Amino acid sequence: MVSGGNEPWVGVMITASHNPAPENGVKIIDCTGLMLEQSLEPLSELLINSPDLSTLPEVLAKLGLTLADLDTIPSTVLLGHDTRVSSPALAQAVMYLAKDDACVP
């Protein structure tokens, strides 16, 4: 969704930085190499905190998109994570959501 335009990629870094391991989080980097635009953060948090992605249609609608649009927007997710025990499971979740064939670990 964020990676549209001329540069079809977005970066996701799973890290807790200086926080305790249970507080791992994601940093989303757009195709310009900058952090996710602040106006998009509430939408990403809504998705991230949804246990079953039931909020996806709502988030897409706020972006002017539908579920059908997701299959027509080419993109690649560049994925990285730190060495915390919880990071690989979070990376797997990101790959699942990114249809892992488009995810570059």
pLDDT digits (tens, 9 = 90+) for 42-61: 887 777 777 777 788 888 88
Classify domain 9-96 at the CATH class level: alpha beta
Is 17 a catalytic site residue? yes
Of the candidates 17, 54, 86, 87, the residue annotated as catalytic is: 17
Cβ atoms 27, 35 nearer than 8 A? yes
- For 38, the 3-state DSSP assignment is helix
Q: Output the pTM of the full model.
A: 0.63
* Residues 8-27 pLDDT 10s: 678 888 887 677 766 667 78
Residues 6+ apart with CB under 8 A from 12: 26, 27, 28, 29, 77, 78, 79, 80, 94, 98
